Amino acid sequence: MKPDTERAREMQEQAERIEGVLRGIKHRIVVFSGKGGVGKTTVAVNLAYALVKRAKKVGLLDADITGPNVPKMTGAVAPYAPGENPHEIHPHVREGLSIISIAPMLPEDSPVIWRGPLRSGAIRQFLADVVWGELDYLLADLPPGTGDEILTTVQEMHPQMAVVVTTPQEVSLVDCRRAVNMAKKMNIPVIGVIENMSGLICPHCGGEIDLFGTGGGKDMARRMGVAFLGRIPLEVKTRISGDQGKPVVLHDPESPVSAAFDSITQNVEALLK
């Protein structure tokens, strides 16, 4: 074990590196939800690429250490090349987006059975040591719930905005309200809600089926006094794009889901101005 003084010095040095990195990043956004499977990673990836399409310099940090899906959804799966400086990590750059995740550092399909402090340590290391360069936006894709990764990311990254993703059903909205209250408690200045899987686009006739209902997210945002960023329909091609690592906003820019992301991105930019 390292002596306490050495450990304290290392922590101090790391905190200084994080401060230096954050100085080069204009806007910082965390994407989270109370529930898993509601579309956080889909939103984080496509919002990031929608910003890239608007000529912004963007980084995406996969802060879901136990369920790191960003590489799968972006195709950024290759191992990282070692940097010149031993503690530097160079992100993948795919189609103009800089991406960092723990997944490419691990053998395929191996579980991350780490306790909270270790998961938090990984996030701190990403924030301190990834060489992003100057960024207009850094987005963090967070795990569901209220665990250590969320607290660490928010404490260290000082995001100006929380994007909370929900689906329209009451079981998701209940958890979304918790997530919004958590963002308020953590003093994140701007909070915006997205209602994902809001109506199903029929692949045959193009009509909309109210599978999970619609409108609950907007209602909730109004009642809780936070911004509503927009609704995203459920669409088969979006799911396929995610599985193939081809984000829908790049590979199917005319689709209703891409149109929804364009409008949401404009709202995000306007709120952060």
The single residue among 17, 177, 218, 239 that binds ligand ADP, judged by CB under 6 A, is: 239
Residue 42 near which of Mg ion, ligand ADP, none (CB within 5-8 Å, type-dependent): ligand ADP
Smallest separation, CB 146 to Mg ion (Å): 15
For the residues of the chain, what is the DSSP string, one character each? ---HHHHHHHHHHHHHHHHHHHHTEEEEEEEE-SSTTSSHHHHHHHHHHHHHHTT--EEEEE--SSS--HHHHHT--SPPPBPSSTT-BPPEEETTEEEE-SGGGS-TT------HHHHHHHHHHHHHHB---SEEEEEEEPPSSS-HHHHHHHHHH--SEEEEEE-SSHHHHHHHHHHHHHHHHTT-SEEEEEEEEEEEE-TTT--EE-SS-SSHHHHHHHHHT-EEEEEEEE-HHHHHHHHHT--HHHH-TTSHHHHHHHHHHHHHHHHH-
Q: 99: which strand partners?
A: 60, 92
Residue 79 and residue 91 in contact, taking contact as beta carbons nearer than 8 Å = no
| Residue 54 or 246 having the CB closest to Mg ion | 246
The single residue among 25, 29, 30, 42 that binds ligand ADP, judged by CB under 6 A, is: 42
**Phi and psi at residue 219, in whole multiples of 5°?**
-55, -50
Touching ligand ADP, residues 197-216 (CB under 6 A): 197
The single residue among 242, 247, 255, 256 that binds ligand ADP, judged by CB under 6 A, is: 242
Smallest separation, CB 253 to ligand ADP (Å): 15
From CA 221, how far away is CA 241, in angstroms rounded?
29
* Radius of gyration of the chain from its Cα atoms, rounded to whole angstroms: 18
Residue 257 near which of ligand ADP, Mg ion, none (CB within 5-8 Å, type-dependent): ligand ADP
* Candidate segments 96-104, 185-193, 222-230, 238-246, binder of ligand ADP by CB under 6 A: 238-246
Residue 238 near which of Mg ion, ligand ADP, none (CB within 5-8 Å, type-dependent): ligand ADP
The single residue among 40, 53, 119, 124 that binds ligand ADP, judged by CB under 6 A, is: 40
Smallest separation, CB 69 to ligand ADP (Å): 5
| Residue 188 or 194 having the CB closest to ligand ADP | 194
Smallest separation, CB 41 to ligand ADP (Å): 4
The single residue among 76, 235, 255, 261 that binds ligand ADP, judged by CB under 6 A, is: 235
Residues binding Mg ion (CB under 5 A) = 40-41, 69
The single residue among 120, 196, 255, 258 that binds ligand ADP, judged by CB under 6 A, is: 196
46 touching ligand ADP, by CB under 6 A? no
Residue 242 near which of Mg ion, ligand ADP, none (CB within 5-8 Å, type-dependent): ligand ADP
- Residues of this chain that interact with ligand ADP (CB under 6 A) are 33, 36-42, 69, 196-197, 232, 234-235, 238-239, 242, 257
